[in-house]
Amino acid sequence: MEISTLATYHCLAFVWYFFVAYSIAHVKTEERPSEVFLYGGQWKYLTVLNLILQAVFYGVSFLADVLRLIKKLRCAKCIISSRDLLFSVLAFPVSTFVCVSFWTLYTYNRELVYPKSLDGVIPLWLNHAMHTAVLPFALLELLALPHRYPAKKKGLILLGFVAFLYISWVLWIYSVTGEWVYPLFALFNPPGLAAFFAGSLAIIVVFYNFGEFLNRMIWGDSIVILDHKWKGK
């Protein structure tokens, strides 16, 4: 894909995610169900944090495209490395996890993740923008250009560290409010909750490996050529 086309796509994707994040952040306070928007506001939900993550990723991607267009290749190399790290370790696996886990649990029992009381607050399009569209965007990014994945150990350590931070945030909110971020967590005793978190981490690791596999299958030797190209700059 031409750099100018990539720049346009990444700019539009950034604007889209910024708009979606803005929309969910500005849900009218008086319309918010009290049992949902307590301590931590929207920022306790993985879905909302993922919107911010995607906006940052596409913003970095757009910056990399612009630097390549104006021939600032030394700066572009650094930004592209950050872009690829963001995509491989966080943007793809988290988006995939958000979409698959949300709709799986929603189908089983929506009250565990998205209470019916939210239907009158969050429009249907916004629900799908947060929980459905994130996966096609991630897959389109894979198809648009090759991404250099870090060494497996490094990638998994970074992914595990971010997962640890989010789990710590969830537990902190419970310690302060006595309420779980998701009603689902109240179904488990401590060992069961630990097993659930471990299982969720295992699933997101699978999605990390799946993204790496797709990237390699789609682009193959293009990734190696790209590495040599940037090392020569």
Measured CA to CA, the distance from residue 121 to residue 140 in angstroms comes to: 30
Closest CA to 142 of 89, 219, 56: 219
Question: What would the two tokens of residue 108 be?
Answer: 């089983």
- Cβ-contact 79, 67 below 8 angstroms: yes
Q: What is the pTM of this model?
A: 0.90
Q: What is the pLDDT along the chain (233 residues), one digit of tens a residue?
A: 788 999 999 999 999 999 999 998 887 655 555 455 566 778 899 999 999 999 999 999 999 999 988 877 788 889 999 999 999 999 999 999 999 999 999 999 999 999 888 888 889 999 999 999 999 999 999 999 999 999 999 999 999 999 999 999 999 999 988 889 898 999 999 999 999 999 999 999 999 999 999 999 998 866 554 554 544 45
Q: Is 32 exposed, middle or buried (0-12, 13-18, 19+ CB in 10 A)?
A: middle
